């Protein structure tokens, strides 16, 4: 029997974000409490965490960015001329869709995160619907939750799909392909060659340019150099702000609120190269500057600096990011927020397209998993980040679909210890599904690990240091 999802993620998300639009200015604590009471309990805690007093202004700008992104897709077909809605995965630059006046991007994994974080019942009802169609339970929730919503016939369907995961993640590529066939939505494929040589990069550049031609044909619009330059220049401004924030992330204690790692990813995955994307990053930098100058940190002292090797947990951010902050554990970054953007040369059309090709090549997951050697690429990034940000430990949360990370996580653990003297905690859980491993279990495992291994190690640091092998240099490709 097929499970009924009742309504799609987009419709339900639009209602929720419509409430944000009604807010006039930054609400006081009392006003916010009144607003949160209107929300179901599941949404209340997480939305409340995003609007915590010390980061409320930036939280509102962030939520408004998500609202504008969803509204753009909602309104696309009622405009004259109509715009096309193009579904993209998280490992693809949305800037390429923003380049077209007649198209808007929607990102699969960000919509799944909206469901997990803000909608009553979370991602589970869509996940169960997916299983009821006969799909296995070892597919990736990050994308299949939103895809289930689209398969249900109760959600807003895109006009086309860009599948950018072939070469980086089969689970992601296949579920988008299934959606394409099931709902008859055209799919444009951008394959990443698993080949880091100049030949592999040349193939990718050719595929990327073919995709641009396909989008020109699909939208009936030729790429316009001025519009391209505008998007790239705004993307370059985002890049500047990203690195400004990165410098703050290196400070001790880290003045960046733990939840800002969560804000960084949707900026890159949905609104890079747009004014709302810039405003969100500016609001984050302003907040961090103010907190740093005032010496504000959520706990009496910073006790542990934690780096996440891949994704973290999104279904209960008040009990992860906020909880960590209160314990004095700084959440430095996860792989989704560690996207290391580079400025793009705006001299000519070709330099700008080349810059977008490089950006797409280096997107999260492409950069670590779509390479000649997953272990080498992942280790290089994590060792570099652990050293650069002064991490005391790294946490990897893996789920059943992510076979590629499971296949190399033991190498990651060994190399982090050898090269950066940082221990790795491996958790089994699902970032979007609270029923796989409840957040209380995650908390307990982190408490035991940080208390016994990390803080215990700090106490015996001198003794341990004598037994450590020499460290090796970090990656050359990272800034």
Residues that bind ligand SF4 (CB under 6 A): 140, 142-143, 169, 171-172, 311, 365, 369, 401-402
Nearest approach in angstroms of CB 172 to ligand SF4 is 4
Least CB distance from residue 424 to ligand SF4, whole Å?
17
Q: Which is nearer to ligand SF4, 150 or 401 (CB)?
A: 401
Please tell me the distance from the alpha carbon of residue 94 to that of residue 103, in angstroms, as a whole number: 11
C-alpha 67/C-alpha 321 separation (Å) is 22
- The two tokens of residue 30 are 């009392």
Minimum CB separation from ligand SF4 for residue 94, in Å? 16
Q: Which is nearer to ligand SF4, 281 or 365 (CB)?
A: 365
What are the backbone dihedrals phi and psi of residue 333, each rounded to the nearest 5 degrees, phi first? -175, 160
CA distance 345 to 233: 9
Of the pair 43, 311, the CB lying nearest ligand SF4 is at: 311
Q: Strands 393-398 and 424-428, how do they pair?
A: parallel
Closest CB to ligand SF4 among residues 76, 394: 394
What's the chain's Rg over C-alpha atoms?
22
Please state the closest distance from residue 445 (CB atom) to ligand SF4, in A: 20
Residues 397 and 428: their CA atoms lie apart, in Å, by 6
CA–CA distance, 354 with 352 (Å, rounded to integer): 5
**Nearer of residues 207 and 378 to ligand SF4, judged by Cβ:** 378
Peptide bond into 113 cis (omega under 30): no
Helix (H) or strand (E) holding 422: none
Q: In terms of CB distance, is 429 or 474 closer to ligand SF4?
A: 429
Eight-class DSSP state of 80: S
Nearest to 317 by CA among 270, 262, 371, 367: 262
Residue 177 Cβ vs ligand SF4, minimum distance, rounded to whole Å:
14
CB 317 within 8 A of CB 259: yes
Least separation in angstroms between residue 176's CB and ligand SF4 is 10
Q: Is the CB of 84 or the CB of 396 nearer to ligand SF4? A: 396
Closest approach of Cβ 367 to ligand SF4, in Å?
11
């Amino acid at each position: 029997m097929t499970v009924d999802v009742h309504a799609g993620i987009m419709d339900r998300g639009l209602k929720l974000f419509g409430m944000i639009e009604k807010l006039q200015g930054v609400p006081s604590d009392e006003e916010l409490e009144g607003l949160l009471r209107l929300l179901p309990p599941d949404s209340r805690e997480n939305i409340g965490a995003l609007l915590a007093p010390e980061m409320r202004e930036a939280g509102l700008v962030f939520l408004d960015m998500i609202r504008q992104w969803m509204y753009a897709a909602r309104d696309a077909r009622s405009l004259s001329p109509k715009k096309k809605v193009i579904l993209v995965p998280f490992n693809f630059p949305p800037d390429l869709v923003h380049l077209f006046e007649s198209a808007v991007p929607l990102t699969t994994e960000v919509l799944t995160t909206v469901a997990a974080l803000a909608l009553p019942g979370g991602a589970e009802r869509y996940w169960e619907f997916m299983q009821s169609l006969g799909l296995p339970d070892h597919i990736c929730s990050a994308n299949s939750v939103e895809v289930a919503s689209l398969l249900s016939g109760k959600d807003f369907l895109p006009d086309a799909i860009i599948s950018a995961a072939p070469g980086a993640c089969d689970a992601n590529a296949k579920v988008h392909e299934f959606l394409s066939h099931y709902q008859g939505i055209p799919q444009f494929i951008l394959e990443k060659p698993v080949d880091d040589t100049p030949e592999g990069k040349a193939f990718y550049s050719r595929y990327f340019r073919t995709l641009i031609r396909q989008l020109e044909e699909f939208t009936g619009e030729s790429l316009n150099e001025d519009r391209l330059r505008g998007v790239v220049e705004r993307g370059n401004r985002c890049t500047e702000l990203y690195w400004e924030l990165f410098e703050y992330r290196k400070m001790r204690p880290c003045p960046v609120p733990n939840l800002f790692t969560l804000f960084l990813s949707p900026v890159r995955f949905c609104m890079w190269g747009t004014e709302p994307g810039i405003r969100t990053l500016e609001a984050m930098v302003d907040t961090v500057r103010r907190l740093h100058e005032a010496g504000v940190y959520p706990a009496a002292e910073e006790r542990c600096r934690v780096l996440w090797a891949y994704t973290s947990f999104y279904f209960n951010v008040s009990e992860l990011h906020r909880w960590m902050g209160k314990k004095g554990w700084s959440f430095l970054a996860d792989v989704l927020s560690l996207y290391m953007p580079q400025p793009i040369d705006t001299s000519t059309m070709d330099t700008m397209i080349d810059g977008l090709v490089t950006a797409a090549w280096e997107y999260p997951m492409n950069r670590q998993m779509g390479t000649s050697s997953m272990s080498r690429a992942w280790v290089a990034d994590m060792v570099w980040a652990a050293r650069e940000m002064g991490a005391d430990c790294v946490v990897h949360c893996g789920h059943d679909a992510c076979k590629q990370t499971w296949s190399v996580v033991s190498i990651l653990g060994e190399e982090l210890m050898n090269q950066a003297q940082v221990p790795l905690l491996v958790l089994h859980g699902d970032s979007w599904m609270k029923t796989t491993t409840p957040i209380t279990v995650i908390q307990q495992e982190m408490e035991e690990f940080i208390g016994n291994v990390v803080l215990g190690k700090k106490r015996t640091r001198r003794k341990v240091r004598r037994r450590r092998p020499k460290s090796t240099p970090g990656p050359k490709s990272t800034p």
